[in-house]
Amino acid sequence: MILSDIRDYLQHRGQSTLADIALHFDIEPDAARGMLDIWIKKGKLQRRSATGSCGTSCSQCDTAATEIYVWKSSSLSVELPLPADCSHSSN
């Protein structure tokens, strides 16, 4: 897989979770994260989390499912909405 494949995938979708990217390209999340970091360093991609505490407080969410990557497009004038908050309560 090459970086342009990831670029094309994210440009088409606008945003995606790390888990979805890894599944789509049939690679490990850590391998995908390494390639995504290159686009982040180039200023083309932004990493977000589903919520501030999701994946850290209840430990029930897969961190790859809460790590969201958003392609920065000059043609978009508004931010894309993030997925709904984690449904797990933090006890």
CATH of residue 7: 1.10.10
Domain that includes residue 31, residue range: 1-49
- pLDDT 10s digit of each residue in the chain, 91 long? 689 999 999 999 999 999 999 999 999 999 999 999 999 999 999 998 876 555 556 666 666 667 899 999 755 434 445 555 454 444 4
Sheet with 15-17: strands ordered across:
15-17, 67-71, 45-49
The whole-angstrom separation of Cα 20 and Cα 67 is 10
Residue 67 maps to a domain: no
Residue 72 maps to a domain: no
Domain tally for the chain? 1
Type of residue found at 42 = K
Question: Can you give the length of the chain in residues?
Answer: 91
Please indicate, yes or no, whether the overall pTM of this predicted structure exceeds 0.85: no
Residue 74 maps to a domain: no
